[in-house]
Structure 1
Amino acid sequence: MGGTYKATGINLKSMPLGESDRLLTVLTREFGLIRVVAPGSRKHKSSLGGRSGLFVVNQLLIAKGRSLDKIIQAESLQSYAGLSQDLRKLTASQYLAELALFQALSEQPQEDLFCLLVEHLDRLEKLPRGVTLASLAHATFHLLALAGVAPQVQLCSVSQQLLVPDFDDPNWRVGFSAVAGGIVSLAALDQLTAPKRSAERSEIEGSNICSGQAAGVQPGGIWAMGDRPNPAHESPSSYPTRTPKKNVELHLQINATELALLQQLSQPDFIQPDGTLAQPQDRPIEQPLPEQIWLSIERILRHYAQYHLDQPIRSAALIDTCFSPLPQPIPSP
């Protein structure tokens, strides 16, 4: 690349460096993920001050250094100022930045990842505030697809049978398994969770023997991330049992509306500019949807992404804070 080089990139992380500099982590089209110094950018009148902010897209001229490269010149192309003016949108954009960082490579062109992230940040900024969670779920699914680990949402991941949501039955459910790679029939879900239930019983029985105290099985146990089996080569009964160590929910049940939404997330124009959802004519979904539905979809994709990318999404805690419904006040007697 010589003494200097040019790159177009978006700032995804920033931290103070020295008395007045910033160290930026930038996703570039040409060279993937780079770490560069923005000299003097923390000074009040610095020309790099605004250009070193989060989610600013710059055309950069960079000088090679022994340990860290330095920005010589930056021309802002896009800033997404609207994201920082809304806490929900800012939190969602930080969430997407984490997902991009998990899969970004260094010293390799990352044109597709750069363009996809910028596209969804642009949508997130422009869409109505009420569809922020829907936009986050849409972008998350596309980033997982680009990474090659999008969940299977059309066929049972075990039997490969087509699973169609039944809106006529309010009790209809289907399984979702991060281990299997997506949706599964309830029969397959029962096979997948059988080793966990057996392990829980064994652990409780062993605890009872040691302590002499009775204990009850806790429902909804969570398995930790670890070495994952390949669902294409192993039967559900051969999946390893793991102890509950990390906050990743691997097996759960979802309803017809949740499945229908998951099945539409791959569509590029699923969310229209006015915030309405584009839907197939054969199975329309009543709109507007309660925000709680989208919170459920986000959590499904969150646990799936954390399992397959083997990284915790730290911004998820803020998602819970920003979007979880407030507790209802208890009426006085």
Structure 2
Amino acid sequence: MPKEYQAIGINLKGMPLGEHDRLLSILTKECGLIKAVATGARKHRSAMAGRSGLFVVNDLQISVGRSMDRIKNAEMLQSFVGLGKTLAKLTAAQYLSELALMQALSAQPQEELFLVLVEHLNRIQDAEDKYVLACLVHGTYHLLAIAGFAPQVHSCCISQRPVIANREIPKWKAGFSIVGGGVINLEITDPPSDGNPNRDHSINGLEIIGNSAITNQISHYLNAPELLAIQELAQTDLTDNILKSQTTDWLTVERLLRAYAQYHFDRPIQSSALIDNCFFNI
């Protein structure tokens, strides 16, 4: 085994170690998730202090130790200083970094995960404040896709029929099943007496479904704008009309994807606690 190795990585987590050092969790392209000690990073005026900060991308030379690897040299490639300018951007970045840490593997390349995370951190950093939430949701979907369980959003996860938002019906809704893995077309259920399952028979959508087995699978409901927003997330870039969707629509989609991610990763997203405070009044 080599005594040293080189990798390009982004710092996703850090904690004090001893009096002067810092232990970093780093997502690297070449070696996946590693933990390494940044020696002297907490010393006053240490050159390693800035390079050991969160969301800093470094070209690293690392020495292999018996118990812990140590950073021998770090050349800063990118620092994402703009993420710290607002609480919303910082929270969104921490949210995506948590999702990356939940799925990152060690001792094997993680280039796709690294590149997608860095791309969406760039988008959050450069976004206008009013679009940060949309960028967060977009990044969340793409990280779920890399993990292998992006929700099925264009066709019903039960019937496999296309689910198409209908803005002409004021209270039109689609269902969503966390366990089932995607959207549910309510028209597959037993229709009410007039034969139209999406006609305005209910305020909350519950009464339009006649099949209790399907009803029990539904964890969330999406109105037409919310469905259109979640269906756009698979694209590389969000179109302007979707990007400018109402903040309330993006909050609904974020909460849905948050619950979906927490179910599939089987752990909470700690930074999500600040989402409502950051974005509710935008």
Pairwise same-fold verdict (TM > 0.5)? yes
Is the contact made by 2:189 and 2:214 (CA closer than 8 Å) also made in structure 1? no
Distance 2:189 2:124 in 1: 34
Query: 2: CA distance between counterparts of 1:166 and 1:238?
Result: 21
Q: CA RMSD in A?
A: 2.2
> Quick check: 1:250–1:303 contact (8 Å CA) kept in 2?
no
Aligned to 1:289: 245
Correspondence list, 1:29-178, <5 A: 29-178=29-178
SS at 2:261's partner residue? helix
**SS across alignment from 2:48:** coil
Alpha-carbon spacing, 1:63–1:250, altered in 2? closer, same or farther (3 Å): farther
Residue among 299, 307, 311 paired with 2:255: 299
Measure, in 1, the Cα distance between the counterparts of 2:173 and 2:254: 18
CA distance in 2, matches of 1:318, 1:262: 21
Contact 1:27-1:114 within 8 A present in 2 as well:
yes
Is the aligned partner of 1:255 residue 2:223?
A: yes
Distance in 2 between residues matched to 1:189 and 1:104, nearest whole Å: 39
**1:237 positional shift:** 4.4
Label 1:39 to 1:252 Cα distance change in 2 as closer, same or farther (>3 A): same
Q: Take 1:36 and 1:43, find their aligned partners in 2: how far apart are those partners? A: 17
The one-letter code of the counterpart of 2:251 is L
Shift of 1:186: 2.5
Could you tell me how far apart the structure 1 residues matched to 2:94 and 2:259 are?
17
Residue aligned with 1:48, SS = helix
Q: Any conservation in 1 of the 2:28–2:110 contact (CA below 8 Å)?
A: yes
Task: Report the Cα distance in structure 1 between the residues aligned to 2:98 and 2:33, rounded to whole angstroms.
Answer: 13
- Does the residue aligned with 2:107 lie in a helix, a strand or coil? coil
SS at match of 1:15: strand
Structure 1 residues 193-272: aligned runs within 5 Å? 237=213, 251-270=219-238
Cα distance in structure 2, aligned partners of 1:238 and 1:153: 17
What is the rounded CA distance, in whole Å, between the counterparts of 2:188 and 2:180 in structure 1?
9
1:305 alignment partner AA = A
Q: Secondary structure of 1:102's partner?
A: helix
Provide, for residues 129-175 of structure 1, a one-character-per-residue CA deviation record: whole Å limited to 9, x for no partner: 11000000000001111111000001110011111000111110110
User: Any idea what SS the aligned residue of 1:315 has?
Assistant: helix
CA shift in 2, pair 1:126/1:325, >3 Å: closer
Counterpart for residue 228 of structure 1: none
What is the TM-score when the length of structure 1 is the normalising length? 0.75
CA distance in 2 between counterparts of 1:7 and 1:252 reads: 42
Instruction: Quote how far apart the aligned CAs of 1:250 are.
Output: 6.4
CA distance in 2 between counterparts of 1:119 and 1:34 reads 20
User: Which runs of 5 or more residues in structure 2 are unaligned?
Assistant: 191-203, 205-211
8 Å contact kept, 2:156–2:185: yes
Q: Does residue 1:310 correspond to 2:266, yes or no?
A: yes
Q: Given residue 252 of structure 2, which amino acid in structure 1 is its aligned partner?
A: S
Q: Quick one: distance in 1 between partners of 2:65 and 2:86?
A: 37
> Is the alpha carbon distance of 1:84 and 1:265 closer, same or farther for their aligned partners in structure 2, counting shifts above 3 Å?
same
User: Structure 1, residues 110-147: CA drift from partner, whole Å, max 9, x if none?
Assistant: 00000000011011111111100000000000111111
Contact in 2 for aligned 1:175/1:189 (Cα 8 Å) = no
Give the aligned partner of residue 26 of structure 2.
26
Task: Tell me the equivalent position of 2:185.
Answer: 185
Shift of 1:288: 3.6
SS state at 2:10 partner? strand
Distance 2:146 2:188 in 1: 27
Matched residue, 1:244: none
